[in-house]
Amino acid sequence: MRNVDQENHATPGYSEPGKQKAHATPLLIKLFPFMRPHVAKYAILLVLTALASIIGILPPFMMQIAVDNYLSHLDENGILMICLLVILYGVFGGLIGFCSTYVRDYLGQRIVMDMRIKLYQHVNQLSFSYFDKTRTGDIMARVISDTMQLQAYMTMGLINLATNIVTLAGVLTILFFWKTVIGMIFLIDVPFILIGMHFFSRKVAPANQRIRKANGIIGASIQDCLSGIREVKLYGREQFMLKVFDTWNDEYYNATIESNKQSAFWMPYVPFLVSASSGVVLMIGGIMVALTEFTPGQLIATVAYFTLLVGPLRMITRFLGMHAMASAAGNRIFDILDLQPAIRDLPGAFSVSDVQGHVQYKNVSFQYAESHEILKDIDLNIPPGKVVAFVGPSGVGKTTLLHLLPRFYDVTSGEVDIDGKDIKSFTLESLRRNVGIVMQDTFLFDGTIADNIAFGNTQASKEMIQAAARIARLDQFIESLPNGYKTPIGERGVFLSGGQAQRLSLARVLIMNPKILILDEPTANVDAVTDRQIIDAVRDTMKGRTTLIIAHRLWTIHHADMIVLLKDGKIEAKGTHQELWEKSAFYREFFASQIQPESLNGAEGKQS
Ligand SMILES: Nc1ncnc2c1ncn2[C@@H]1O[C@H](COP(=O)(O)OP(=O)(O)O)[C@@H](O)[C@H]1O
Ligand SMILES: [Mg+2]
């Protein structure tokens, strides 16, 4: 076996996602809320399975009656009656088996559905800071496979446990009732079984842990390789990716073999104990039959009962393994469910409407968790309806600064106000309804172009969608497609270029008609001519809106009421282009190196 830990150092990022923390509350108590709505079905299931267990106990008993009462006297009617009973029992048992399997599977599917919906809803509410540090593949594994593990535990596992306990108790009662000594022989097995189970779980648990870890990493590496397939090919890293994959597949294989080996070794242990004691029973029972203390029928039935005990004992052993796996799955699921979204409505938050668009940053500082301070002492006062351009070197914190306004992150200190009120006093929903944002990189959903434009307002009319596309200068392109606005995006439809995607994202925001508009390099991926067209069109719609725009193009900056220049996380200077040009050497320097000259086009010449 390869040394996986060493390999792991060579491939950073492929370590186990998210450290597991122990949960103090027992698993069943945490799972109870998911089981409570289905109490009635659980009760039906328990009754059915208890019945099934009792029926399962009957055959040896019938055998005993057949042998002792009828066979010994060759009572034909009696034998016939037992035969009929056995057939009837078969029909009845089958019927109960059908009903309980149906109810159990129904229950299981309901539970897994409820759990997935709950998880999905919760994940949707978590804040950006959570997604910054969690891998998508990890969340997916929790929503898909961990819920299934719990479902199996909550239906099959728990119900089987109950059934098997009923069977065990029933058989023991009969054995003790017949002959205490015989019951005792079985009880002698118990400590040996417990010791065996203990060794088994101690051997198999580490292997199962390795399987889970390898499984997670295999998933993550497939995801990485597929999302980064261009880079993988471009840099010729196929072999390397394969090697990572291979290493962890190897580990998965070895751990599974190890786990199976342990199971294979320990599985015959319980049957062995039981058969050994059956032998002892046969001997002691035989002597007792000779002494007429025990009937031949009872002896035959007792041996049959001993065989019957193998199943339940094995199932109980297996349940312990299942419980360990379910606990781990439960921990991973409740890790998410117990997490409070970092950003949420404060008590007393109110829904804001009629926003004027007066934006103020008051002494704002910010840092991402565990990072250095990104923004320091930011003071800004942006009157309603003004257009403010943010410029500065890449990585200085422009995007971060504007992401504080819709509360993607909360300020570390200071305050952001809209219309003189702290944005934390508004409900998140109403705040974000009033702050539209075109992000630096755009995500398009599976669906048509129209669906994607109307993403934030599913009630939008066709005319509204078209108007938004027109402003974003996307209308001509869409209308040139055979299916127009109904064209699906992606595999089965049209692929959009970076610039087109960005314009679609602009249309998506415009349809929301927000009072405050944030544009994060909205024209970074379009040519200078389109840039101008978009900015001109947006300028029309900017009337009456406060617009905060991160831009590198002179045309955009030129039309701003105020330019804010950021440097080292602070505001270096603010004012009009003219003012900045005159007072800030950094601005002149920055301008000369950063602002794309092709958009000048004689539109102005103040800087030269
Ligand atoms: N989600 C994040 N978590 C931690 N650090 C971040 C995150 N996003 C950005 N940063 C860091 O914050 C700084 C500012 O980033 P950003 O606001 O994107 O800059 P700009 O938009 O000016 O290019 C950078 O150093 C970046 O590495
Ligand atoms: Mg940015």
Q: Give the DSSP per-residue string, 135-169.
A: -HHHHHHIIIIIHHHHHHIIIIIHHHHHHHHHHHH
291 and 431 belong to one structural domain: no
Evaluate: CB of 374 within 6 angstroms of ligand 1: yes
pLDDT score of 410: 93
pLDDT higher than threshold 60 for residue 602: no
485 and 423 belong to one structural domain: yes
- Dist. CA 474 → ligand 1 center (Å): 30
* Distance from C-alpha of 146 to C-alpha of 337, rounded to nearest angstrom: 13
Confidence of residue 596 (pLDDT cuts 50, 70, 90): low
Q: State mean pLDDT over 334-360.
A: 90
Q: By alpha-carbon position, which residue is closest to atom 4 of ligand 1?
A: 368
pLDDT higher than threshold 60 for residue 331: yes
Evaluate: CB of 397 within 6 angstroms of ligand 1: yes
Evaluate: CB of 394 within 6 angstroms of ligand 1: yes
- Dist. CA 200 → ligand 2 center (Å): 55
- Dist. CA 136 → ligand 1 center (Å): 20
When the pLDDT of each residue in the chain is averaged and rounded to a whole number, the result is 85
Confidence of residue 183 (pLDDT cuts 50, 70, 90): confident
pLDDT score of 597: 54
332 and 289 belong to one structural domain: yes
- Dist. CA 400 → ligand 1 center (Å): 6
483-503: burial string, b at 16+ Cβ within 10 Å, e else: eebeeebeeebbebeebbbbb
The tens digit of pLDDT for each residue in 137-151 reads 778 888 888 899 899
Which segment, 529-543, 550-564, 583-597, is predicted with the most confidence on average? 550-564
Six token digits for residue 17? 């996602």
Q: By alpha-carbon position, which residue is closest to atom 8 of ligand 1?
A: 400
- Dist. CA 112 → ligand 2 center (Å): 40
CATH number, position 153: 1.20.1560.10
Which residues make up the environment of ion ligand 2, defined by Cβ < 5 Å?
Answer: 399
Q: How many domains does the chain have?
A: 2
Q: Give the C-alpha distances (Å, rounded to integers) separating 310 from 169, 271, 279, 353, 465.
A: 13, 6, 14, 69, 68
pLDDT score of 9: 32
pLDDT score of 8: 33
pLDDT score of 255: 93
Evaluate: CB of 525 within 6 angstroms of ligand 1: no
The domain in which residue 209 lies consists of: 26-337
Ligand nearest to the CA of 522: 2
Which atom of ligand 1 is closest in space to residue 128's alpha carbon? 1
Confidence of residue 16 (pLDDT cuts 50, 70, 90): very low
Cα angle, residue 518 at apex, residues 517 and 519 outer, rounded to 5°: 120
- What's the length of the chain? 608
- Dist. CA 60 → ligand 1 center (Å): 73
pLDDT higher than threshold 80 for residue 538: no
Evaluate: CB of 12 within 6 angstroms of ligand 1: no
Q: State mean pLDDT over 324-334.
A: 87
304 and 384 belong to one structural domain: no
Six token digits for residue 407? 């509360």
Confidence of residue 18 (pLDDT cuts 50, 70, 90): very low
Q: Which helix (DSSP H) or strand (DSSP E) does residue 548 occupy? A: strand 546-550
Closest CA to 314 of 202, 200, 149, 176: 200
pLDDT higher than threshold 80 for residue 483: yes
Cα angle, residue 278 at apex, residues 272 and 284 outer, rounded to 5°: 145
Confidence of residue 116 (pLDDT cuts 50, 70, 90): very high
Choose the weakest-confidence range: 89-103, 185-199, 412-426.
185-199
431 and 559 belong to one structural domain: yes
393 and 312 belong to one structural domain: no
pLDDT score of 571: 93
- Is position 1 within any domain? no
pLDDT score of 413: 94
- Is position 130 within any domain? yes
Q: State mean pLDDT over 78-91.
A: 88
Confidence of residue 24 (pLDDT cuts 50, 70, 90): low
257 and 119 belong to one structural domain: yes
The tens digit of pLDDT for each residue in 467-477 reads 999 888 889 99
Which atom of ligand 1 is closest in space to residue 566's alpha carbon? 22
Evaluate: CB of 398 within 6 angstroms of ligand 1: yes
Evaluate: CB of 524 within 6 angstroms of ligand 1: no
Closest CA to 148 of 269, 417, 339, 329: 329
- Is position 21 within any domain? no
Ligand nearest to the CA of 398: 1
pLDDT score of 431: 94
Ligand nearest to the CA of 404: 1
- Dist. CA 401 → ligand 2 center (Å): 9
534 and 438 belong to one structural domain: yes
pLDDT higher than threshold 70 for residue 599: no
440 and 582 belong to one structural domain: yes
pLDDT score of 378: 94
- Dist. CA 595 → ligand 1 center (Å): 21
Is-contact 456 508, C-beta < 8 A?
yes
- Is position 604 within any domain? no
pLDDT higher than threshold 50 for residue 601: no
Evaluate: CB of 441 within 6 angstroms of ligand 1: no
CATH number, position 408: 3.40.50.300
Six token digits for residue 98? 């059908």
Choose the weakest-confidence range: 49-53, 201-205, 343-347.
201-205
Burial (Cβ within 10 Å: 0-12, 13-18, ≥19) of residue 314: middle
Is-contact 390 398, C-beta < 8 A?
yes
- Dist. CA 70 → ligand 1 center (Å): 88
pLDDT score of 118: 93
pLDDT score of 185: 84
333 and 394 belong to one structural domain: no
Evaluate: CB of 604 within 6 angstroms of ligand 1: no
Evaluate: CB of 391 within 6 angstroms of ligand 1: no
Six token digits for residue 338? 């117990």
pLDDT score of 4: 36
Confidence of residue 492 (pLDDT cuts 50, 70, 90): low
pLDDT score of 23: 60
Q: By alpha-carbon position, which residue is closest to atom 24 of ligand 1?
A: 395
281 and 424 belong to one structural domain: no
- Is position 331 within any domain? yes
Confidence of residue 603 (pLDDT cuts 50, 70, 90): very low
- Is position 9 within any domain? no
Evaluate: CB of 353 within 6 angstroms of ligand 1: no
- Is position 421 within any domain? yes
- Is position 327 within any domain? yes
Q: State mean pLDDT over 552-575.
A: 86
331 and 463 belong to one structural domain: no
pLDDT score of 11: 35
Q: By alpha-carbon position, which residue is closest to atom 1 of ligand 1?
A: 132
The DSSP letter of residue 16 is -
